[in-house]
Chain A
Amino acid sequence: MFWPDKSSIYIYRNPISGETKWKIDNTCDQCAEEETPLCVKYCTYRALTISD
Chain B
Amino acid sequence: MSNKRSIKGCLAGKILWIDLTNNKIWRENTEKYALKTLGGRGINSLIMLEKINCNTRWSDPENLLCFGVGSMVGTMAPGACRVDISTINVFSGGKGSANVGGFWGPELKYAGYDNLIITGKSKKPVYLYINDEDVQIREADNIWGKDIFETEELLRAEIKDRDIKIAAIGPAGENLVRGSAIIVDTAKAAGGSGVGCVMGDKKIKAVVVRGHGKINIAEPKKFMKIVEECNKKCISQESTDFMRKAPLNFYANPEWDGWNTNIVVRNGQDDQWDYEKRIKLMNSQNGIPSMIKKVRACYQCPTGCMPFMEIRKGEYQGTKGEGFWINTIMGHACRVDVSEPEAVIESWILTNRLGLDGDFASSVISWAFELYEKGIISEKDTDGLELKWGDSKSFIEMLKRLAHRNGIGNILAEGLTEAAKKIGKNSEEYVIQVKGQPSIEPFRVPKAWALAVSTSPVAGRHLRGATMGNLRYGPKPRTGRFNITDYQNQAYGVYWQGKTKEIEDNLGICNYVGTWSGANFLDLSDFVQLINTGMGLNLNEKDLMDYYAPIGRNMEKAFNELHTDMTRDDDMPPKRFIVEEVKTGPYKGFKIDIKKYNKMLDDYYKFWEWDIKTGKQTRALMEKLGMTEIANRLDQKGKLSG
Contact = CB atoms under 8 A, between A and B. Distances in A.
A46 interface: yes
A44 B302 contact: yes
Interface residues on A, range: 10 to 19
Interface residues on B, range: 35 or more
Nearest to B320: A18
B125 interface: no
A15 B235 CA distance: 24
Given A12-B163, A18-B320, A44 B76 contact: yes
Residue of B75, B231, B310 most packed against chain A (CB within 10 A)? B231
Contact of B293 (A6, A18, A45): A18
Interface in B210-227: 211-217, 220, 224, 227
Given A12-B163, A15-B187, A18-B308, A2 B76 contact: yes
Interface in A1-36: 1-6, 12-13, 15-18
Nearest to B150: A16
Residue of A6, A16, A44 most packed against chain B (CB within 10 A)? A44
13 contacts: A2-B76, A6-B214, A15-B186, A16-B149, A16-B152, A16-B321, A17-B320, A18-B296, A18-B322, A42-B227, A44-B76, A44-B302, A45-B302
B301 interface: yes
Interface of A: 1-6, 12-13, 15-18, 41-42, 44-46
Nearest to B294: A18
B303 to A, nearest CB: 8
B185 interface: yes
Residue of A2, A4, A5, A42 most packed against chain B (CB within 10 A)? A2
Contacts, number: 65
B447 to A, nearest CB: 36
Contacts of A18: 293-294, 296, 308, 310, 320-322
A42 B212 contact: no
Nearest to B107: A4
B301 A44 contact: yes
A1 B149 contact: no
Nearest to A18: B308
Nearest to A3: B214
A7 to B, nearest CB: 11
B153 interface: yes
B529 interface: no
Nearest to B216: A1
B215 A2 contact: yes
Nearest to B186: A15
Q: 6 closest Cβ contacts across the A-B interface?
A: A3-B214, A15-B186, A5-B212, A18-B308, A2-B215, A1-B214
B304 interface: yes
B83 to A, nearest CB: 16
A45 B297 contact: yes
A42 B234 CA distance: 13
B110 interface: yes
Interface in B141-175: 149, 152-153, 162-163
Contacts of B302: 44-46
A23 to B, nearest CB: 13
B194 to A, nearest CB: 24
A2 B152 CA distance: 27
B300 interface: yes
B543 interface: no
Contacts of B149: 16
